[in-house]
Structure 1
Amino acid sequence: MYATPEQTNPARDGLEAAADQAIEACGGDAREAVKALLVASEFLENEIAELKAAVSKGYSRGRHVAQRDHKE
């Protein structure tokens, strides 16, 4: 008998457990869990943008373009 990839991948087990935990935190509603995760993701993206703007270009050795220098 061969083990399936799902049975031998601890990262996948952790991901499954995290998904179950997020759904449980939202009362078992998967749609509400997805909405909560999208809000959390947007919050973290905004935090990253603020941190990038606060870090000098010299300190980051040019690895990112500061928000104030970026033209759209």
Structure 2
Amino acid sequence: MTATPEPSRPATFDLEAAADQAIAACGGDAREAVRALLVAVDFLEAEAGELRTKVSKGYARGRLPAARTQG
């Protein structure tokens, strides 16, 4: 057993439907959908980095990956 289990997805997750939904949410503009998703990913990475600093090293026991650097 590994220290970090593989993330599981719901059995009903449909990548094509999710992509279509993201494009539809941006008025059918695929470029705008990609831009919105990149902004969302950047926000979530920043939030994860902030939370990572608040978790004690003893609690995490080295299981947390190092924060990514923006380049």
Q: Whose helix proportion is higher, 1 or 2?
A: 1
Q: Residue in 2 aligned with 1:44?
A: 44
Q: TM-score, normalised by structure 1?
A: 0.70
The residue identity in structure 2 corresponding to 1:54 is K
Cα distance between partner residues in 1 of 2:20 and 2:65? 37
Distance change >3 Å, CA 37–CA 22, structure 1 → 2: same
The structure with higher relative contact order (CA 8 Å, sep 6+) is 2
Cα 1:60–1:26 change in 2 (3 A) is: same
Identity of aligned residues (%): 70
Alignment of 1:1-72 (within 5 A): 11=13, 14-64=14-64
Structure 1 runs of 4+ aligned residues shifted over 6 Å read none
What amino acid maps onto 2:17 in structure 1?
Answer: A
Matched residue count: 56
Match of 1:4 in 2: none
